[in-house]
């Protein structure tokens, strides 16, 4: 049996400090800086690739909706901050991502990717997505292979569900739940009422 310590939902998110690019400037970011807010960590393999810009731009396009939920985003790859800067200075029709509404973090030494257990054998980060709550605990994680992009709308749906059950601790969200849908009371007899209603 492997003794490697894999992260799970409910674990404290590993802290880190690194250089990021945002609004054409370098800045230091750390996980602890975001305590008090929810945070989406958006790991991706490399700048100047094929699937990555579609995800990075899609999350930037929905940034205002995500930010309205007391949530920030950090994109993270094993590229240098200089590579991130060059990528954000290029328009999407030229292979770049243009100005983004959230920072891209440099994980050149791969320490962040290792601490989140998403570094593959080629030394690239898999498409790991972590939702970290305002207290610094992992509430959701998903990892895709390099060829499959993620769904921003589903990330937002999950984020809303996480926040809903935090604010309503006696309720749970069923499959395909959307804000405004019925929830289930997390005790046996009241839960039967939900199933009678569907």
* Contact (Cβ atoms closer than 8 angstroms) between residue 144 and residue 150: yes
172 touches 144 (CB < 8 A): no
Closest residue by Cα to residue 56 from 136, 167, 149, 142: 149
Q: How far apart are CA 53 and CA 106, in angstroms?
A: 16
Catalytic residue among 52, 78, 83, 152: 52
* Structural tokens at position 151: 């769904």
Annotation marks residue 52 as catalytic: yes
Match 């949530």 to its residue by tokens. 71
Q: How far apart are CA 184 and CA 162, in angstroms?
A: 14
Please state the φ and ψ torsions of residue 125, each to the nearest 5 degrees.
-80, 135
Question: Which residues participate in catalysis according to the annotation?
Answer: 52
């Amino acid at each position: 049996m492997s003794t490697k310590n894999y992260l799970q939902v409910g674990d404290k998110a590993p802290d880190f400090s690194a250089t990021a690019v945002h609004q054409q400037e370098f800045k230091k970011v750390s996980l602890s800086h975001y305590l008090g807010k929810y945070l989406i960590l958006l790991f991706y393999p490399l700048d100047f690739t094929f699937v990555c810009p579609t995800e990075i731009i899609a999350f930037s396009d929905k940034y205002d909706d995500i930010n309205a939920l007391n949530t920030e985003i950090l994109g993270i790859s094993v590229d240098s901050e200089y590579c991130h800067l060059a990528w954000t200075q290029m328009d999407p029709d030229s292979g770049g991502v243009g100005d983004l509404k959230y920072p891209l973090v440099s994980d050149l030494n791969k320490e962040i990717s290792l601490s989140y257990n998403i570094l593959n054998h080629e030394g690239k980060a898999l498409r790991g997505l972590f939702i970290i709550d305002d207290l610094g605990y992992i509430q959701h994680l998903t990892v895709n292979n390099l060829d499959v992009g993620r769904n921003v709308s589903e990330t937002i749906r999950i984020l809303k569900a996480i926040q809903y059950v935090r604010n309503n601790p006696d309720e749970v969200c069923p499959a395909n739940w959307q804000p405004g849908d019925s929830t289930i009371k997390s005790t046996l007899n009241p839960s039967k009422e939900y199933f009678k209603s569907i």
